[in-house]
C-alpha cells in the first residue's frame, strides 16, 4: 500500500495578500515546518476595553455568529453578512482581545457551527469553514497569560476536522481527515487522519483506510489513538 501523501499547511502572514492557488503551490508541508514553527512574527491581537462603537468585519458591521463560554471567558465568532470575513472576540468583564479570522482568504465560509472549543489544561478553540469539498481551520489557545492564535491554517482535504486530546496531556490536538486522492476527486479509496499539536507540530498520521466511514470517530468526533499514529 502506498504511503499517505503529505497534506498542505498554509503559513499565516498577517500582512500577506495572496491567492489560494499560490498558497497551495508554495506552502507544502516540509517548507512550512522546516526547523520548527514557521518563521516570522506571530499574528497580533488587540486588547482593549470593550468597544463602545460598532465593530466592523470587512466593509460592514460584524454580527455575532456563535458564542461559547470557556473558563470564564466569552468567546464570540463575529462575521460579515456573507460569512466570508470574521473576527474572534474573547474576554471577560470590560477587557477583550480581538483577532482577525484569516481563513476567509482561502474561500472558507463561516457558519454557526464554525466555532468549537475544548476545555483542558489549556483551552483550545477551533474556527473552521468549508471551501468546496475541503475544510480550512485555525486554532486559538488560552495560554498562561492570554489567548493566542497558532501561526498556521490547516486544510482537511476529506472535509472533516475537530479537536481531540489524542495524547492525553490535557490539551486538545487538531485532527484532520485527509484524502490520498486530493480534493475534488470523484472517487477515492484511501483516507487517513492527520494530527497536529497547538504548537504547529505534526504528531503523525493513521494508516490509510479504503472508506472514509472507517476512520476512527467518523463523522462527528474523529478520535485516533496515539498508538495508531505513525510518520506521515
196-219 pLDDT, tens digit per residue, is 999 999 999 999 999 999 999 999
Distance CA 26, CA 34 (A): 13
Identify the band that residue 18 occupies on the pLDDT scale cut at 50, 70 and 90.
very low
Write out the three cell numbers for 166. 489524542
- 117-156: b (≥16 Cβ within 10 Å) or e: bbeeebbbbbbbbbbeebbbbbbbbbeeeebbbbbbbbbb
pLDDT score, position 7: 44
> Does residue 21 surpass a pLDDT of 80?
no
Average pLDDT over residues 217-228: 96
**Predicted local confidence at residue 64, as pLDDT:** 96
Mean pLDDT of the chain: 81
Residue 152 banded pLDDT, cuts 50, 70, 90 = confident
Average pLDDT over residues 181-193: 84
What is the pLDDT averaged over residues 75-83? 95
Residue-by-residue DSSP string for 95-109: EEEEEEE-GGGGT-B
Q: What average pLDDT does this structure show over 109-124? A: 96
Q: How many residues does the chain have?
A: 232
What does the pLDDT read at residue 59? 82
Among residues of the chain, what percentage have pLDDT more than 70?
76
The pTM for the full model equals 0.78
152 secondary structure, DSSP code: E
Please, which pLDDT band fits residue 53 given cuts at 50, 70 and 90?
low
Q: Which of 5-19, 27-41, 81-95, 117-131 has the highest mean pLDDT?
A: 117-131
Rounded distance between C-alpha atoms, residue 18 and residue 31, angstroms: 17
Residue 136 and residue 155: Cα distance in Å, rounded? 5
pLDDT(92) > 70: yes
Amino acid at each position: 500500500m502506498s504511503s499517505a501523501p503529505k497534506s498542505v499547511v498554509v503559513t499565516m502572514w498577517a500582512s500577506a495578500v495572496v491567492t489560494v492557488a499560490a498558497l497551495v503551490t508554495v506552502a507544502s508541508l516540509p517548507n512550512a515546518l522546516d526547523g520548527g514553527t514557521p518563521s516570522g512574527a506571530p499574528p497580533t491581537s488587540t486588547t482593549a476595553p470593550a468597544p463602545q462603537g460598532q465593530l466592523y468585519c470587512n466593509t460592514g458591521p460584524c454580527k455575532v455568529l456563535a458564542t461559547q463560554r470557556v473558563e470564564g471567558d466569552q468567546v464570540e465568532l463575529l462575521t460579515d453578512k456573507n460569512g466570508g470575513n470574521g473576527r474572534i472576540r474573547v474576554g471577560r468583564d470590560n477587557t477583550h482581545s480581538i483577532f482577525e479570522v484569516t481563513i476567509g482568504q482561502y474561500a472558507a465560509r463561516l457558519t454557526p457551527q464554525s466555532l468549537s472549543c475544548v476545555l483542558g489544561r489549556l483551552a483550545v478553540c477551533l474556527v473552521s469553514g468549508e471551501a468546496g469539498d475541503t475544510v480550512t481551520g485555525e486554532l486559538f489557545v488560552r495560554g498562561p497569560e492570554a489567548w493566542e492564535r497558532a501561526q498556521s491554517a490547516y486544510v482537511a482535504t476529506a472535509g472533516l476536522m475537530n479537536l481531540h486530546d489524542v495524547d492525553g496531556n490535557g490539551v486538545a490536538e487538531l485532527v484532520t481527515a485527509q484524502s490520498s486522492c486530493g480534493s475534488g476527486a470523484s472517487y477515492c479509496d484511501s483516507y487517513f487522519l492527520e494530527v497536529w499539536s497547538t504548537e504547529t507540530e505534526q504528531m503523525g498520521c493513521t494508516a490509510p483506510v479504503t472508506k472514509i466511514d472507517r476512520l476512527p470517530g467518523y463523522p462527528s468526533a474523529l478520535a485516533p489513538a496515539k498508538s495508531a499514529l505513525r510518520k506521515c
